[in-house]
Structure 1
Amino acid sequence: MPSDLTPDQKYELLARNLQEVLGEEKIKTVLKERDLKIYWGTATTGKPHVAYFVPMSKIADFLRAGAEVTILFADLHAYLDNMKAPWELLALRVQYYEHSIKAMLQSIGVSIDKLKFVKGTEYQLSKEYTLDVYRMSSVITEHDAKKAGAEVVKQVEHPLLSGLLYPGLQALDEEYLKVDAQFGGIDQRKIFTFAEKYLPQLGYQKRAHFMNPMVPGLTGAKMSSSEDESKIDLLDSPADVKKKLKKAFCEPGNIENNGILSFVKHVIFPLFKPDEMFVVPRKEEFGGDAKYDTFNALEKAFAAEEVHPGDLKTATENYINRLLEPIRKTFQDPKLKALAAKAYPTPTKQKGGAAAGAIEEITPSRLDIRVGKIVEVGKHPDADALYVEKIDLGEAVPRTIVSGLVNFVPIEEMNNRMVVVLCNLKAAKMRGVESQGMVLCASTDDPKQVEPLLPPEGAVVGERISIENFDGTPDEVLNPKKKVWEKLQVDLKTNGECMAQWQENYLLTKSGGKIRAKSMSNAPIR
């Protein structure tokens, strides 16, 4: 513990590079008497990636300031957040996270002897905690619970009760871990203010909160475990790092939503020793290596286009590989390789899309959605509200699909129309005519409105439509007994700009074109 730091110097270390601190005066009061107790929690869902160095770097600051830090592996939260982690895999994923985070901390020179690691279910299933969950549920409104989780728990039209419980459990963690403050991203702010409101109603003290800014991923949007091009995995090879950085968004002079600059600011510079500088390697003909002792100097040079994006990427690549190399070596251990395979199994597809020897995960990559063209259309012989369409989907023979669009789209607008089709539903008879798919539409019930989704200009018949951030092979046929489509459909909707999304991830053609509705915004897709 650094004994030569004053309370003000400790606070400066605790608060540097943060976007916001709630309870500043409370923290300073505690620091005059003793060192702070802080916890950081992570839900054990997708694999930790290089963006986890952002909170790890900040945890290093906390430790330098003499704080007692608890890292919570929030396994129960992982399950409650839309069941992102199957119950059967929770224990394995906690183990994977523990090994990964310990390796990251050791990579940046943080002694894990000073840290406490806790698994959520070690205390969250106790009688006392459970009773407090019930007590909290008696004072929290549905509105406040949903609002608190808006930036963290995926929002759907009909939320599961588990997602509404999530913020309350995170608030209670502050009391049960006996900390002075909780640390997280700015996306957690609503949960933090929720905790400040409701913990005192149970007779518990209000805690302070530290918030990191959200660091954009390599594509310029939020770095995501499910978006391979957005993030660098902890075990990516140097060749993979180079490939992903090469594709990364880094426009000359543009310092907005620049994931590379953000990573340099929040990870690389805070880890430098006092005399260390950021080196941008350049050939002598271009002026030789450039060195920067502060991030502000580097950012200013990049904004003035004195630093080329290619040179910044090369420099960042060197520092990232320096951080990852010890982690790669750690995970060469056969036991850790086996753990990774068990914690994150790759489903093996069988006929009908069933997974062999692995936990079945409900992800949108299982949907076979394609661009189609209606080549023939007529009224259903036994149903006035239904069309019977022949749709070219790039197959040898057009498919027959029945759609309830008679009251919404005139028949003259149907023929030769480009549409978006879900192709791997089990064929079903609709009033005697077998339908071999579904034309996807934006649709509301009150008032009843329906608009077929529109492929972008230049879309090719038969082209597969993917969901942004989700890769994988579609099921041959969606199993109706497991209600795969029904579970995924609740998160399909248009956004405020009429663009089609699944949990805020766009529906895209191969060229990156976006699927949209003509005029219906914030409408379910079915």
Structure 2
Amino acid sequence: MASESRADANGIDLDHSLTVEEKYSLITRNLQEVLGGESIKKIISERPATLYWGSATTGRPHVGYLIPLSKIADFLKAHVEVTILLADLHGFLDNQKAPWELLRQRTRYYEEVIKATLTSIGVPIARLKFVVGTSYQLSEKYTLDVYRLSSMVTEHDAKKAGAEVVKQVASPLLSGLLYPGLQALDEEYLGVDIQFGGVDQRKIFVFAEKYLPALGYKKRAHLMNPMLPGLTGSKMSSSEPDSKIDLLDSAEDIERKVRKSFCEEGNIVDNPVLGFVKNVLLPLSSLKHGGEGRFVVRRPEKFGGDLVFTNAADLESTFAEKKLHPLDLKKGVSDALNELIEPIRAKFSSPELQELINLAYPPVKPKLSEEISRIDFRVGRIVSAEKHPDPDASNLYVEKIDFGEESGPRTVVSGIAKYYSLDDLNGRLVVGVMNLKPAKFKGVESQAMLLAASTADKSKVELLVPPESSDPGDEVFCEGYERNPDAQLNPKHKVWEKASAHLKTDAANSIAHYKEAPLKTKFGPLVAQSLNGAQIS
């Protein structure tokens, strides 16, 4: 027999009339995966379950947070006691994404923006507990447990556990290897039965299930929500501004980002805009209005008038039949998002919270613009290399290099035959100057130029090497300078000649620099193998 329920103004049940199955259904609905479901059923049959959801206080929270935050409403309805962990120490350990001196301010910012977001989507915050990680993670007992855990965990297991969460590099910092262990220990020190997070946390959850019992602590259950794709189709990330919408973005920024997003007409399989409506806007509408969700697309009468969708299936079929144009869908998404985010923007319009934003995320100084800004440096991988066909060009190689372009590898002619064998080059990561005017060398057109360091007498030449984690097509930028490359450099303006005069490796570590600024990909600096203080050309 269905149970009766009594709810407050936000639709959150206040009594205990729900059955175990009804509570479990609320706890697990719309999740991608559940680990330990039977243990959850046993707990909620005896007492309210306890759960935590944590967020490292790094980049500014984006609309991807709406998925886990809206799920908290289900937990509260099922009488779960919810703790929100503001994981400040985790933010620092993840390759220092949150500098130590900014941690306190960013933690305050996260608490305020999460509370404002929960209120905006109709989730009451009075029954939530907020905990700052360093309030217990610097204690003697916790620290000793970190050391105990480090004596059990191999480097392989730690790196594997953090693969989807901590930025992966060829030579990882120890801090990133500690990260999964700390997240596992949080379950014990927060005294919870369940940890909740995105499906990208799965390897850390499995790590916790393995190692907490080894420390003498109980094994917890784990709940995973689906990850929201970014507007460009990849995972929504604070480190990729165009892939995500900030919870405080202006109405104009939201419209611009949604308008630029990938949304192919009739495509319902690979469509992040449709996915956003399905996974965020419809469920949130249902939550706010206490029942059936509604997604409205407003159109002029001459284009068929407004459309109202109450479920994702109808929306997808209409779009697949090309009865809904991508521009109209995007406009509907922008309108719905702005309605949702406006209360958050209004709360943060106060002078106190505006000051907090500036303290947590100090304005970035404007980048300088010089000749170096106009040059398009990119990472490439040599697919093949062979000797130049002209017998009089014995110093030249002809390489096919993958620069991550849809058009395929570029042909590049390089004068490096004296310094590298052909076997040295195949599969090698290199850095190319992409926007020089193509030039012919002994009848073969070169469509890019490879960057190399060399001694003054050219007795030694070393190709610059990007970090191993780099991929073909990765941009190379110069720290402190804007990156705004020309489509093609005009040879008459001598842009490359003026910039290259200031390109050198430093005197200590062979790191490539323009003046005093390093050249780097998102994974780290470019280096020569051994040439310090050498000219780059």
| TM-score strictly above 0.5 | yes
SS at match of 1:18: coil
- 2:449 pairs with 411, 419, 424, which one? 419
Give the corresponding residue for 1:398: none
Tell me the distance in 2 between the aligned counterparts of 1:412 and 1:418: 16
Query: Is residue 2:54 matched to residue 1:41?
Result: yes
Distance in 2 separating the partners of 1:405 and 1:77: 49
1:460 to 479, 488, 491: 488
Q: Does 1:370 align with 2:377?
A: yes
Whole-angstrom distance in 2 between the partners of 1:167 and 1:305: 46
Matched, 1:303 2:331: no
Q: How is 1:162-311 mapped onto 2 (pairs within 5 angstroms)?
A: 162-271=175-284, 272=286, 273-311=290-328
**Aligned positions of 1:64-79 closer than 5 A:** 64-79=77-92
1:137 equivalent among 128, 150, 157: 150
Partner of 1:394: none
Give the whole-Å Cα distance in 1 for the aligned partners of 2:237 and 2:444: 39
Equivalent position amino acid for 1:193 in 2:
V
TM-score, normalization by structure 1: 0.73
Answering whether residue 29 of structure 2 is matched by residue 16 of structure 1, we say: yes
Please, what is the CA RMSD of the aligned residues?
A: 4.1
Q: How many angstroms apart in 2 are the aligned matches of 1:20 and 1:214?
A: 12
State whether residues 371 and 462 of structure 1, in contact with CA within 8 Å, keep that contact through their aligned partners in structure 2: no
- Stretches of structure 1 that go unaligned for 5 or more consecutive residues are 354-364, 373-384, 388-400, 423-427, 445-450, 464-475, 493-500, 508-526
State how far apart, in whole Å, the 2-side matches of 1:306 and 1:145 are.
50
TM-score by length of 2: 0.71
- Count, aligned residues: 434
Q: Which amino acid aligns with 1:309?
A: P
Q: Provide, for residues 304-343 of structure 1, a one-character-per-residue CA deviation record: whole Å limited to 9, x for no partner.
A: 3332222221221121011110111111111211221121
Deviation at 1:483, TM superposition (A): 7.3
Q: Mark the CA change 1:431 to 1:203 in structure 2 (over 3 Å): closer, same or farther.
A: same
| CA distance 1:483–1:66, shift in 2 (3 Å) | farther
The amino acid across from 2:53 in the alignment is: W
CA distance in 2, matches of 1:36, 1:80: 30
Match of 2:115 in 1: 102
- Of the three residues 122, 125, 139, the one matched with 1:126 is 139
- 1:344-493 to structure 2, matched below 5 A, reads 344-348=361-365, 370=377, 406-408=419-421, 418-421=448-451, 430=455, 440-441=464-465, 460-461=488-489, 485=511
CA distance in 1, matches of 2:510, 2:357: 26
Higher Rg: 2
C-alpha separation between the residues in 1 aligned to 2:509 and 2:40? 50
Question: CA separation in 1, counterparts of 2:125 and 2:467?
Answer: 53
How far does residue 164 in structure 1 lie from its aligned partner after superposition?
Answer: 0.7
Query: In structure 2, what is the equivalent of residue 60 of structure 1?
Result: 73
User: Are the aligned partners of 2:378 and 2:474 in contact in 1 as well (CA < 8 Å)?
Assistant: no
Instruction: Provide the secondary structure at the position in 2 that maps to 1:112.
Output: coil
**What whole-Å deviation, never above 9, does each CA across 1:127-155 have from its counterpart, x for those lacking one?**
01001001111111111111101111111
* CA displacement, residues 96-129 of structure 1 (integer Å, 9 cap, x when unaligned): 1111111111111111111111111000000010
Cα gap change, 1:178 to 1:491, in 2 (>3 Å)? farther
Runs of 4+ in 1 over 3 A off after TM superposition: 349-353, 365-372, 401-405, 408-417, 431-435, 437-444, 451-455, 476-487, 489-492, 501-504
Corresponding position of 2:171: 158
AA at the equivalent of 1:177: L
Percent of aligned positions that are identical: 52
Q: Which moved more, 1:262-271 or 1:241-250?
A: 262-271
Residue of 156, 159, 164 corresponding to 1:146: 159
